[in-house]
């Protein structure tokens, strides 16, 4: 049983896709493997997903697979590396065959979105241009912040609203492939409104049926998403604080405040939240992080995030295992001090009409008031495990389920230790599963109490409506 309660997402890439490295990463502590569909082929992603599933069975540890859709990402086209200096005049072109010396752009409508005085940021904000003139399909600019520009670098347009669909034809093709290989979650990029999530959910439901739709996570990368935050959270299963693009689209000083606001709102709506981007970025090339990075990870835990994500650190980094071990160590130390410094403590919800929320709140209070060693959740869809997770009891949560997809998806939930069991048809079956799991674990002893929550009558696929105390070994 994991001591650590927050989960670790690791992005897979050239340095981490082979079976040997994947096994080391799982043993080091990852819970969720991110497949970035901005890179790689379907064949590579299929092989990687198969390897993850096989290792999950071999190691008897649930590992969720998260598909990250590319979304609309404007980039420079193919060009010779070019040094831009402050004051230079640079011309961008949306023509399919631009004039020699022009910077090609892969978004044909860009010239229609800009006007003089607007800023263009390149390569995650490392270079900055000021629009001077827009004529036909060319954009004449002056360099405000120089540097080396290469092919396929991202373009951001702070203060400019792009009226373009967030769910592209490539995304739909990739989504269909992800559903085919059975991903556990889909992260939707560059979400602007609730409608972007609804479109993805409808597309997935049409393909596999509403009950088999994966966890859908809204990546919050644009200012419009923050304006529509409550509505986006309401239709999503979770959100990702994608701090890289947020910092470029807005400004770096705003991002820490928005991070806290997003996490708080997601927790209040009992939804998943992942904090991402550059958490241990220096470990791409160094065996230890900076002190600021360690503090950043700790603060995300104190804010109440369910998971923290590694990107380049594990995809292309030189120290992927050391990075995961360091992330694990920082999280564990932070969680030891969560009672004192944490901002989210599982505040009871005001939604008293939902029995599952009421039962999870009651189980939390029982766990805190009595000498209880764990909260045991029997769940079919995983929803009750998620709600129990959001109540944040100070004891471990054990999530029992007979379904493989639920078993894997519970890897996302803070504090939940998933266990796959045969379907329980009676209360006696349930308690026997509890006895077997608890007595075979070194973490529990006979005569300790656990809180069991489930739907009753057992076996009738009822919503969660029962919480009971059970003494281990007294059955």
Active-site annotation, residues: 34, 75, 219, 277
Q: Is the dihedral of CA 349, 352, 354, 359 positive or negative?
A: positive
Q: What angle do CA 120, 170, 115 make, to 5 degrees?
A: 20
State the distance between the two ends of the chain, measured CA to CA, in whole angstroms. 23
User: If we measure between CA atoms, which residue out of 240, 244, 242 comes closest to residue 305?
Assistant: 240
- For residues 414 and 281, give the distance between their C-alpha atoms in angstroms, rounded to a whole number: 23
User: Which residues partner with 119 through β-bridges?
Assistant: 130
Q: Are 47 and 79 in contact (CB under 8 A)?
A: no
Write the CB contacts of 251 (distance below 8 Å, at least 6 apart in sequence).
Answer: none
- For residues 292 and 283, give the distance between their C-alpha atoms in angstroms, rounded to a whole number: 12
3-state secondary structure of 166: coil
DSSP state of 473: T
- For residues 264 and 475, give the distance between their C-alpha atoms in angstroms, rounded to a whole number: 41
Q: Give the other-Cβ count within 10 Å of 352's Cβ.
A: 10
Q: Are 433 and 400 in contact (CB under 8 A)?
A: yes
Residues in the chain: 475
Tokens standing for residue 124: 């995650």
- For residues 234 and 215, give the distance between their C-alpha atoms in angstroms, rounded to a whole number: 13
- For residues 413 and 381, give the distance between their C-alpha atoms in angstroms, rounded to a whole number: 13
């Amino acid at each position: 049983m994991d001591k650590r309660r927050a989960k670790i997402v690791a992005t897979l890439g050239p340095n981490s896709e082979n079976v040997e490295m994947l096994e080391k990463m799982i043993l080091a502590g990852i819970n969720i493997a991110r497949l970035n569909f901005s890179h790689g082929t379907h064949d590579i992603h299929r092989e990687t997903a198969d390897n993850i599933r096989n290792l999950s069975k071999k190691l008897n540890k649930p590992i969720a697979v998260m598909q990250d859709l590319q979304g609309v990402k404007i980039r420079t086209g193919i060009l010779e590396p070019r040094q831009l200096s402050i004051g230079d005049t640079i011309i961008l072109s949306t023509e399919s065959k631009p004039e020699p010396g022009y910077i090609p752009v892969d978004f044909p409508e860009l010239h229609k979105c800009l006007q003089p005085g607007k800023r263009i940021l390149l390569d995650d904000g490392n270079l900055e241009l000021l629009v001077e003139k827009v004529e036909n399909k060319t954009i004449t600019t002056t360099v405000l912040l120089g540097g080396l520009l290469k092919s396929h670098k991202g373009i951001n347009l702070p203060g400019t609203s792009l009226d373009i669909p967030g769910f592209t034809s490539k995304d739909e093709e990739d989504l269909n492939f992800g559903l085919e290989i059975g991903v556990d979650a889909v992260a939707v990029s560059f979400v602007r409104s609730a409608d972007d999530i609804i479109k993805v959910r409808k597309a997935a439901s049409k393909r596999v049926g509403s009950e088999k739709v994966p966890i859908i996570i809204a990546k919050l990368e644009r200012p419009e998403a923050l304006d529509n935050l409550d509505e986006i959270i309401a239709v999503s299963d979770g959100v990702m604080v994608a701090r890289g693009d947020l910092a470029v689209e807005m400004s770096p000083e705003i991002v820490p405040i928005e991070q806290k606001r997003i996490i708080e709102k997601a927790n209040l709506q009992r939804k998943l939240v992942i904090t991402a981007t550059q958490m241990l970025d220096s470990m791409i090339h160094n065996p230890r992080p900076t002190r600021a990075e360690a503090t950043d990870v700790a603060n995300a835990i104190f804010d109440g995030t369910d998971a923290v994500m590694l990107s380049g650190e594990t995809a292309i980094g030189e120290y992927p295992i050391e990075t995961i071990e360091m992330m694990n160590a920082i999280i564990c130390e932070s969680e030891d001090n969560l009672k004192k410094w944490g901002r989210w403590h599982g505040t009871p919800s005001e939604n008293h009409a939902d029995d599952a929320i009421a039962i999870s709140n009651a189980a939390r209070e029982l766990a805190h008031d009595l000498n209880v060693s764990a909260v045991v959740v029997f769940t079919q869809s995983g929803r009750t495990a998620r709600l129990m997770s959001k109540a944040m009891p100070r004891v471990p949560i054990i999530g029992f389920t007979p379904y493989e997809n639920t078993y894997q998806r519970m890897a996302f939930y803070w504090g939940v230790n998933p266990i796959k069991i045969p379907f329980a048809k009676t209360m006696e079956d349930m308690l026997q599963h509890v006895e077997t799991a608890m007595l075979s674990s070194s973490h529990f002893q006979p005569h300790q109490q656990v809180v069991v929550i489930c739907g009753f009558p057992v076996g009738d696929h009822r919503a969660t409506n029962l919480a009971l105390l059970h003494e281990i070994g007294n059955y």
